[in-house]
Amino acid sequence: MAEENYHKILERISRTSGVEKEEIERKIEAKRAKLSGLISKEGAAQVIAAELGINFDNEKLKINELLPGMRKTNVIGKVISLFPVRAFTTKKGDLSKVCNIILADETSNIKVVLWDTHHIDLIEKNLVKEGSIVEVINGTMRDSELHLGSFSEFKLSDEILENVKTEKIVREKKISEFKPQEAVSVRAFVVQTFAPRFFYVCPECRKKATQDGENYICEQHGKVPAEKRALINIVLDDGSETIRSVLFHETLKDIGINALDDPNLLAQQRENILGREMFFSGNVRMNKFFNNAEFIVDSAKEIDLDELIEKLEGKG
């Protein structure tokens, strides 16, 4: 992710200053050498930008141009998803609220976190709803989220946005960079597998059904002919860190596990995937029982060497 941010900053510096990217990269490396390598390429790029008189503060940006650490960020987007307003108690004992929305433009989409009650009022009063075009002024980027506090503005906009990016944006990251609630992908090795756990779901709504004697009960549909499902926990390692990961029934075939009812063949399949390197995509969430992050894998695919080489050459 840091490499991706670096190239975005490099592109913006070059475009804004009119200086060739190669020249800017030389300045960045010189700055890092002067500081004995104690600053990242991304950090050095921001220093060079400042030296060239380039300030990204208060500039209206597209969503795909937003970078971690940016302040005084301005953007316009369409609300494509609204999450329920949550109330919480602050450390001082005061009652407060927080609300998350997904904002999209034609380049990308991003989670926006609202902390100010005046902004949240707009949602609770249905003045801002799904499909609304809103303008954000003076937001702050925290990792891959845009946060708005009392010094930020959040208001309806007259701008027209049509072809916005509504699909989930999955960012390739190292495991050590994973944050809860992110959609990510990673190239990693399977270093440990666990025995499957079985459960039953309602065939109508696909939600978990609870056993009641010989019957299975769905909260919504009552007694149902429940379907048996499985999940398997694995541990992934990409060289930066490890993470416990969960694959549900439909995803198990992606890693070559399909013999759930044959213990001997299942044991062989579990052994076969140990040490296997693949691309895994999914969502990071907090496991409340263990109080640590875990990776819910929704797809896994083999590494395409031609595609990987092309991607690496593009970064070079």
More confident residue, 114 or 173: 114
pLDDT tens for each residue of 112-131: 999 999 999 999 999 999 99
With 70 as the cut, is the pLDDT of residue 314 above it? no
CATH of domain 171-315: 2.40.50.140
Side-chain half-sphere CA neighbours of 135 within 13 A? 12
pTM: 0.57
Backbone angles phi, psi at 175, to 5 degrees: -60, -35
Fold of the domain built from segment(s) 63-156: OB fold (Dihydrolipoamide Acetyltransferase, E2P) (2.40.50)
Domain boundaries of the chain, sorted by first residue: 2-51, 63-156, 171-315
Residue 130 neighbours by CB distance under 10 Å: 11
| Contact yes or no for 133/156 (Cβ under 8 A) | yes
Judged on CB neighbours under 10 Å (0-12, 13-18, 19+), 183 is middle
The tokens describing 37, both together, are: 């390598």
pLDDT at 3 over 80: no
Q: What percent of the chain has pLDDT over 90?
A: 42
Q: Do domains 63-156 and 171-315 have the same CATH topology?
A: yes
Question: Tell me, what's the pLDDT at 155?
Answer: 95
- pLDDT score for 257: 92
Structure-token match 């949602």, residue found: 123
| Region of poorest pLDDT, from 90-99, 153-162, 225-234 | 90-99
**Mean pLDDT over the full length of the chain:** 86
165, 159, 157: which is closest to 122 by C-alpha? Answer: 157
- pLDDT interval class at 138 (50, 70, 90): very high
234: left (phi over 0), alpha (psi -120 to 50) or beta: beta
CB atoms within 10 A of CB 107: 15
Q: Is the pLDDT of residue 139 over 80?
A: yes
- For the cut 70, the answer to whether the pLDDT of residue 2 exceeds it is no
